Amino acid sequence: MVEVVLDCVLRRRQFKEIAQRCCVDLESLTRFRKRFITPEVEKIVLVEANKLDATSLDQEVNAAQDKIEGGIEGILKEQRRLYRTLNDMVEGDNLMDVLAPMMQLLRDQNKSYENLLKVYSNLREKTTIVLGLNEHPDVQKLMDVLWVVFQAHPDAFETFRQVVQDRQIPLDVE
């Protein structure tokens, strides 16, 4: 039953396909939707689906951050090892023996940082930034439009205030 409601609200499948899976005709599914899938049920399902999407996105971001952290730790370990080795070579007073490993170390560091940059770029593409309403760059434009509309239509302002109060929407815009 839950799967049917989710499929109907989230439109994961066509109604025809949902009806076939439930072994009912399309008319029965339509009656079910009208009786049991109320706007409140739709809202709850959509909110939960959005929470799940956000959770899965957070998990992906966390996994990518763990990879980055592991990569950085690996780079640092390798650098420490190479620096110790190079430091031991310097004590032997043969500068030419030290130069080749130093060049290799710099090349390896460059490749590591390039790979790190790629990972960060991919991570940034997957990261969603949520701004509060008062932090949005277009909030002032929206407030100006609402001001003009409410000045022209005082009834609209009263309706707006009532809807905000009924739905308990916090409007903390400065």
Tens of pLDDT along 121-172?
776 666 555 666 666 667 777 788 888 888 888 888 888 888 888 887 776 6
DSSP string over 34-54: HHH--HHHHHHHHHHHHHHHH
Tens of pLDDT along 38-61?
888 788 877 777 777 767 777 777
Question: Which two three-digit tokens encode residue 83?
Answer: 């620096």
- Mean pLDDT, to the nearest integer, of 109-129? 72
CA–CA gap between residue 55 and residue 68 (Å, rounded): 20
